[in-house]
Chain A
Amino acid sequence: GIQVEQSPPDLILQEGANSTLRCNFSDSVNNLQWFHQNPWGQLINLFYIPSGTKQNGRLSATTVATERYSLGYISSSQTTDSGVYFCAVSRYGQNFVFGPGTRLSVLP
Protein backbone atom coordinates (compact mmCIF):
# COMPACT_ATOMS: atom_id res chain seq x y z
CA GLY A 1 0.00 0.00 0.00
CA ILE A 2 0.87 3.67 -0.13
CA GLN A 3 3.39 4.94 2.40
CA VAL A 4 3.11 8.50 3.70
CA GLU A 5 5.91 10.34 5.45
CA GLN A 6 5.71 13.72 7.13
CA SER A 7 8.47 16.00 8.28
CA PRO A 8 9.47 17.36 10.64
CA PRO A 9 7.86 15.17 13.30
CA ASP A 10 7.99 18.02 15.83
CA LEU A 11 8.26 21.76 15.37
CA ILE A 12 8.48 24.51 17.96
CA LEU A 13 8.01 28.09 16.83
CA GLN A 14 7.87 31.49 18.39
CA GLU A 15 4.63 33.32 17.70
CA GLY A 16 4.89 35.23 14.44
CA ALA A 17 7.32 32.84 12.78
CA ASN A 18 6.70 31.02 9.50
CA SER A 19 6.93 27.28 8.93
CA THR A 20 6.84 24.66 6.20
CA LEU A 21 5.49 21.14 6.65
CA ARG A 22 6.23 18.37 4.18
CA CYS A 23 4.28 15.28 3.13
CA ASN A 24 5.87 12.65 0.87
CA PHE A 25 3.93 9.72 -0.57
CA SER A 26 5.17 6.62 -2.26
CA ASP A 27 2.73 6.26 -5.17
CA SER A 28 0.51 8.36 -7.37
CA VAL A 29 -2.65 9.59 -5.68
CA ASN A 30 -5.74 11.43 -6.76
CA ASN A 31 -6.92 12.62 -3.35
CA LEU A 32 -4.84 14.53 -0.83
CA GLN A 33 -5.98 16.42 2.23
CA TRP A 34 -4.32 18.39 5.01
CA PHE A 35 -5.90 18.37 8.46
CA HIS A 36 -5.25 20.10 11.76
CA GLN A 37 -6.06 18.06 14.85
CA ASN A 38 -6.87 20.29 17.78
CA PRO A 39 -6.15 19.40 21.43
CA TRP A 40 -9.65 17.85 21.76
CA GLY A 41 -8.97 15.44 18.92
CA GLN A 42 -11.16 17.04 16.26
CA LEU A 43 -9.74 16.79 12.75
CA ILE A 44 -10.31 20.07 10.96
CA ASN A 45 -10.12 20.21 7.17
CA LEU A 46 -7.48 22.63 5.98
CA PHE A 47 -7.12 21.83 2.29
CA TYR A 48 -8.30 19.36 -0.29
CA ILE A 49 -5.36 19.60 -2.69
CA PRO A 50 -4.53 16.65 -4.95
CA SER A 51 -2.56 19.08 -7.13
CA GLY A 52 -1.75 22.76 -7.43
CA THR A 53 -1.68 25.53 -4.85
CA LYS A 54 -4.34 26.85 -2.51
CA GLN A 55 -4.36 29.59 0.10
CA ASN A 56 -6.64 30.30 3.01
CA GLY A 57 -5.59 33.29 5.05
CA ARG A 58 -2.25 32.60 6.72
CA LEU A 59 -2.25 29.00 5.52
CA SER A 60 -1.39 27.71 2.09
CA ALA A 61 -0.48 24.40 0.49
CA THR A 62 1.12 23.16 -2.68
CA THR A 63 1.00 19.64 -4.09
CA VAL A 64 3.35 18.48 -6.84
CA ALA A 65 1.65 15.21 -7.71
CA THR A 66 4.22 14.16 -10.31
CA GLU A 67 6.95 14.35 -7.69
CA ARG A 68 4.79 12.83 -4.95
CA TYR A 69 4.94 15.51 -2.32
CA SER A 70 2.87 18.24 -0.77
CA LEU A 71 3.94 21.22 1.30
CA GLY A 72 1.94 23.10 3.89
CA TYR A 73 2.85 26.65 4.87
CA ILE A 74 1.92 28.59 7.97
CA SER A 75 2.82 32.27 8.04
CA SER A 76 2.78 34.57 11.06
CA SER A 77 2.03 31.64 13.35
CA GLN A 78 -0.28 32.06 16.33
CA THR A 79 -0.63 30.00 19.49
CA THR A 80 -3.96 28.71 18.19
CA ASP A 81 -2.07 27.03 15.33
CA SER A 82 -0.63 24.54 17.82
CA GLY A 83 -1.66 20.93 17.37
CA VAL A 84 -0.91 18.09 15.00
CA TYR A 85 -0.99 18.49 11.24
CA PHE A 86 -1.80 15.42 9.17
CA CYS A 87 -1.57 14.70 5.51
CA ALA A 88 -3.85 11.94 4.10
CA VAL A 89 -3.83 10.46 0.61
CA SER A 90 -5.77 7.94 -1.43
CA ARG A 91 -5.72 6.40 -4.87
CA TYR A 92 -8.79 5.93 -7.01
CA GLY A 93 -11.47 4.12 -5.07
CA GLN A 94 -9.12 3.07 -2.27
CA ASN A 95 -9.03 3.95 1.40
CA PHE A 96 -7.16 6.93 2.80
CA VAL A 97 -3.72 6.57 4.34
CA PHE A 98 -2.61 9.10 6.92
CA GLY A 99 0.93 10.21 7.62
CA PRO A 100 2.31 10.18 11.18
CA GLY A 101 1.75 13.92 11.56
CA THR A 102 3.79 16.97 12.48
CA ARG A 103 3.30 18.20 16.05
CA LEU A 104 3.47 21.99 16.10
CA SER A 105 3.89 24.06 19.24
CA VAL A 106 3.68 27.84 18.90
CA LEU A 107 5.03 29.67 21.92
CA PRO A 108 3.76 33.13 22.95
Chain B
Amino acid sequence: DTGVSQDPRHKITKRGQNVTFRCDPISEHNRLYWYRQTLGQGPEFLTYFQNEAQLEKSRLLSDRFSAERPKGSFSTLEIQRTEQGDSAMYLCASSLSGLAGSYNEQFFGPGTRLTVL
Protein backbone atom coordinates (compact mmCIF):
# COMPACT_ATOMS: atom_id res chain seq x y z
CA ASP B 1 0.00 0.00 0.00
CA THR B 2 1.42 3.33 -1.04
CA GLY B 3 -0.52 5.62 1.29
CA VAL B 4 -3.68 7.70 1.24
CA SER B 5 -4.90 8.67 -2.22
CA GLN B 6 -7.40 11.30 -3.26
CA ASP B 7 -9.20 11.92 -6.51
CA PRO B 8 -9.39 14.28 -8.29
CA ARG B 9 -6.34 16.34 -7.42
CA HIS B 10 -7.88 19.49 -8.85
CA LYS B 11 -11.47 20.44 -9.53
CA ILE B 12 -12.78 23.63 -11.09
CA THR B 13 -16.52 24.11 -11.02
CA LYS B 14 -19.09 26.81 -11.43
CA ARG B 15 -21.07 28.14 -8.52
CA GLY B 16 -24.20 26.09 -7.92
CA GLN B 17 -22.78 22.82 -9.24
CA ASN B 18 -22.36 19.69 -7.16
CA VAL B 19 -18.93 18.11 -6.71
CA THR B 20 -17.80 14.81 -5.21
CA PHE B 21 -14.33 13.89 -3.97
CA ARG B 22 -12.99 10.46 -3.18
CA CYS B 23 -10.47 9.30 -0.60
CA ASP B 24 -8.88 5.88 -0.41
CA PRO B 25 -7.24 5.37 2.99
CA ILE B 26 -4.37 3.09 3.91
CA SER B 27 -6.01 -0.31 3.71
CA GLU B 28 -5.85 -1.48 7.32
CA HIS B 29 -6.75 1.89 8.82
CA ASN B 30 -10.03 2.11 10.70
CA ARG B 31 -10.35 5.88 10.95
CA LEU B 32 -10.79 8.33 8.11
CA TYR B 33 -10.82 12.10 8.46
CA TRP B 34 -11.79 14.99 6.18
CA TYR B 35 -10.28 18.45 6.60
CA ARG B 36 -10.54 21.72 4.74
CA GLN B 37 -7.63 24.10 4.36
CA THR B 38 -7.85 27.65 3.05
CA LEU B 39 -4.89 29.75 2.01
CA GLY B 40 -2.61 30.66 4.88
CA GLN B 41 -4.50 28.63 7.45
CA GLY B 42 -4.04 25.28 9.12
CA PRO B 43 -6.33 22.38 8.20
CA GLU B 44 -9.76 22.53 9.86
CA PHE B 45 -11.54 19.35 10.87
CA LEU B 46 -14.75 18.55 9.00
CA THR B 47 -15.72 15.00 9.94
CA TYR B 48 -14.37 11.57 10.72
CA PHE B 49 -15.38 7.94 10.43
CA GLN B 50 -14.54 4.95 12.57
CA ASN B 51 -14.97 2.13 10.10
CA GLU B 52 -18.28 2.95 8.39
CA ALA B 53 -19.75 5.01 11.25
CA GLN B 54 -19.56 8.80 11.02
CA LEU B 55 -18.71 9.69 14.62
CA GLU B 56 -18.24 13.42 14.58
CA LYS B 57 -19.10 16.37 12.35
CA SER B 58 -17.81 19.90 12.68
CA ARG B 59 -20.21 22.81 12.58
CA LEU B 60 -18.23 23.82 9.48
CA LEU B 61 -19.98 20.95 7.72
CA SER B 62 -23.13 22.70 6.58
CA ASP B 63 -26.11 20.79 5.23
CA ARG B 64 -24.68 21.22 1.73
CA PHE B 65 -21.87 18.85 2.68
CA SER B 66 -22.28 15.12 3.07
CA ALA B 67 -19.72 12.40 3.60
CA GLU B 68 -19.99 8.65 3.41
CA ARG B 69 -17.75 5.69 3.99
CA PRO B 70 -19.66 2.64 2.79
CA LYS B 71 -18.25 -0.66 4.01
CA GLY B 72 -15.60 1.17 5.96
CA SER B 73 -13.22 1.45 3.03
CA PHE B 74 -13.05 4.49 0.72
CA SER B 75 -14.93 7.68 1.51
CA THR B 76 -16.66 10.33 -0.54
CA LEU B 77 -17.27 13.97 0.30
CA GLU B 78 -20.00 15.70 -1.67
CA ILE B 79 -20.66 19.41 -1.77
CA GLN B 80 -24.00 20.45 -3.19
CA ARG B 81 -24.77 23.87 -4.69
CA THR B 82 -21.16 24.99 -4.40
CA GLU B 83 -20.39 28.55 -3.36
CA GLN B 84 -17.24 30.58 -3.95
CA GLY B 85 -16.48 30.28 -0.24
CA ASP B 86 -16.11 26.53 -0.69
CA SER B 87 -12.89 27.09 -2.64
CA ALA B 88 -10.19 25.37 -0.60
CA MET B 89 -7.94 22.34 -0.37
CA TYR B 90 -9.86 19.30 0.89
CA LEU B 91 -7.60 16.89 2.73
CA CYS B 92 -8.22 13.32 3.75
CA ALA B 93 -6.30 11.44 6.42
CA SER B 94 -6.46 7.95 7.83
CA SER B 95 -5.21 6.31 11.00
CA LEU B 96 -5.18 3.02 12.82
CA SER B 97 -6.64 4.14 16.08
CA GLY B 98 -6.07 2.37 19.34
CA LEU B 99 -8.67 1.87 22.03
CA ALA B 100 -10.61 5.10 22.69
CA GLY B 101 -8.24 7.03 20.47
CA SER B 102 -5.26 6.34 22.65
CA TYR B 103 -2.91 5.99 19.69
CA ASN B 104 -3.93 7.82 16.58
CA GLU B 105 -1.19 8.80 14.12
CA GLN B 106 -2.72 10.33 11.03
CA PHE B 107 -1.42 10.01 7.49
CA PHE B 108 -2.59 12.50 4.89
CA GLY B 109 -3.39 12.25 1.22
CA PRO B 110 -2.26 14.84 -1.35
CA GLY B 111 -5.54 16.75 -1.19
CA THR B 112 -8.13 17.91 -3.73
CA ARG B 113 -7.91 21.58 -4.62
CA LEU B 114 -11.39 22.96 -5.35
CA THR B 115 -11.92 26.23 -7.20
CA VAL B 116 -15.47 27.54 -7.46
CA LEU B 117 -15.91 30.19 -10.14
Contacts and interface: CB of A to CB of B under 8 A. Distances in A.
The 8 closest A-B pairs by CB, nearest first: A98-B42, A93-B101, A43-B108, A48-B105, A95-B45, A31-B104, A92-B101, A98-B43
A30 B101 contact: yes
Interface residues of B, number: 26
B91 interface: yes
Contacts of A45: 105-108
Contacts of A96: 33, 45, 106
Contacts of B56: 94-95
Interface of B: 33, 35, 37, 41-45, 48, 56, 58, 89, 91, 93, 100-108, 110-111, 113
A7 B111 CA distance: 25
Given A43-B43, A97-B45, 17 more contacts: A31-B105, A41-B113, A42-B108, A42-B111, A45-B105, A45-B107, A88-B42, A92-B100, A92-B101, A92-B102, A93-B101, A95-B56, A98-B42, A98-B44, A100-B41, A100-B42, A101-B42
22 contacts: A30-B102, A33-B105, A41-B110, A41-B111, A41-B113, A42-B108, A43-B91, A45-B106, A45-B107, A45-B108, A88-B106, A90-B104, A94-B56, A95-B58, A96-B33, A97-B45, A98-B35, A98-B42, A98-B43, A98-B44, A100-B42, A101-B41
